[in-house]
């Protein structure tokens, strides 16, 4: 099994892909006149993706929190971890709240057309930029600082 600190990089791909997919699918659906809310096939899919993105974001956050503790125990300066940690925490809980709101809207059959659809699309596009920013800072930790990465072994 992978060491605990390596589970975070595996888990983060799920909320990233789900968030990007959600935004793209909702934009395409809206441009084709498909309702984003209610109980249609598309609304079911959209609400399910939003909920899954929120749940996986929480999993990634808690695994990342454990990875940060391991990095600090290996004498990594906590200051270089702060931006990714703070943005990741905000994103994870905001995405979880968004998933809960979308699940609630689906459960109550709330119509997400007209002005509400614009709000849904704006929030999802904002999440895309936010999650890509968090991913950038996470990549910086790995590629620039080597946080929780085993050193490469030279070939004999």
> Residues 128, 19: contact at Cβ < 8 Å?
yes
How many CB atoms within 10 Å of residue 47? 24
80-122 pLDDT, tens digit per residue, is 999 999 999 999 999 999 999 999 999 999 988 888 999 999 9
Q: Can you state the percent helix, strand and coil of the chain, rounding each to 5?
A: 75, 0, 25
What rounded mean pLDDT belongs to the chain? 94
User: In this predicted structure, what is the pLDDT of residue 56?
Assistant: 98
Is pLDDT larger for residue 141 or for residue 150?
141
């Amino acid at each position: 099994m992978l060491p605990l600190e390596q589970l975070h990089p595996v888990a983060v791909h799920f909320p990233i892909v789900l968030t990007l997919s959600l935004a793209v699918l909702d934009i395409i659906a809206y441009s084709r006149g498909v309702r984003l809310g209610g109980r249609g096939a598309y609304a079911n899919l959209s609400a399910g993706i939003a909920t899954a993105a929120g749940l996986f974001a929480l999993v990634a956050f808690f695994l990342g929190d454990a990875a940060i503790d391991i990095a600090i125990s290996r004498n990594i300066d906590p200051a270089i971890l702060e931006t990714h940690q703070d943005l990741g925490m905000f994103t994870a809980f905001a995405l979880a709240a968004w998933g809960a709101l979308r699940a609630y809207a689906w459960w109550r059959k709330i119509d997400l057309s007209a002005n509400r659809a614009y709000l849904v699309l704006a929030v999802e596009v904002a999440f895309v930029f936010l999650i890509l920013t968090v991913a950038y800072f996470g990549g910086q930790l790995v590629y620039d600082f080597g946080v929780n990465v085993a050193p490469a072994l030279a070939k004999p």
